[in-house]
Amino acid sequence: FSISKAAWTFAVYIAGDNNLEYYGILDMLEMAMVGTTPEMNIVVQFDRAEGYDTSLDNWTEAKRFLVTEGMVPTNESAYEDLGEVDMGDVVTLTDFAVDTFGRFGADRTCLVLWDHGMNWHGGCCRDMASANDSLKTDEMRAALGAAVEVIGGRVDIVGFDACLMASLEVGYSFKELVVDFVAPESTEPGTGWPYDSILMPLRENPSMGSDELASRVVSEYVQEYVDGWVNCMAAFRVDLLSTTVKDALTEFADSLMAEDDKYYGHISAARSAVDTLERIPG
């Protein structure tokens, strides 16, 4: 490639080695409706599965793409073939983040983790071909730490196109490494983020700041599913995730666990009485 420093590098880690493979293809086609420009790089690592979708050469290993306008994710359009990798392994995510932000330099950076999500409990980016391995919060933090060293500053946005990932535990794990954190509190439909609607304004205004792009993800997502879906997406400034709240919550949880027999009935009654979105299995 002939690469000059851009305003933004928007990187998407599509862990499609499972039953969401088809939707990964759809999302890449949405990105290609906008495409990379001199001021905005759209970079994807996509690991496909066997047995769910056989289109576009039916490749099943992991490949990397610089998504250009009108591109389709075929063998020929990839700039790198990684072979079969474990997308739930910290080494795989670290390599993608370090290589992408080093190769496609930019003033601002965004890393989106795409797949099934189970919050702090089960992580995200489940790889069916690797015994359903998934990335946990400590692994994500380690990968981001390596990315920060390459960038020379914080990653501007970490986003999750994955269910249930907006929580204090996940967001707090990015403290001192990330500026803004974007994720859904509830489940997502298979089609996930509307990448064309999110990226077109960034193409038109590459000077957009991380707070504006994070807000754009929320507003475009909510507009996309205004009818017929539990419509939850949130953006947080990571530095404002209060240490006081984290410490207070830890103290409260430790107290409850120390005397769980005493408080079990009260906790159960309180949980049953509140409105809920989705419950993490297990």
Note the pLDDT tens digit of each residue in 61-78.
999 999 999 999 999 999
User: Nearest to residue 42, comparing CAs of 199, 153, 181?
Assistant: 199
Q: Are 14 and 45 in contact (CB under 8 A)?
A: yes
Strand 6-15, strand 106-114: pairing: parallel
pLDDT reported for residue 282: 42
Is the confidence at residue 264, as pLDDT, over 90?
A: no
pLDDT reported for residue 279: 54
pLDDT reported for residue 87: 94
Helix orientation angle between 21-32 and 195-204, rounded to the nearest 10 degrees: 30
Report how far Cα 43 is from the mean position of its chain's Cα atoms: 13
**Which of 33-37, 74-78, 184-188, 263-267 bottoms out in mean pLDDT, i.e. has the lowest?**
263-267
Q: Are 241 and 175 in contact (CB under 8 A)?
A: yes
The torsion region of residue 109 among left (phi > 0), alpha (psi -120 to 50) and beta comes to beta
Q: Are 29 and 70 in contact (CB under 8 A)?
A: no
Is the confidence at residue 127, as pLDDT, over 50?
A: yes
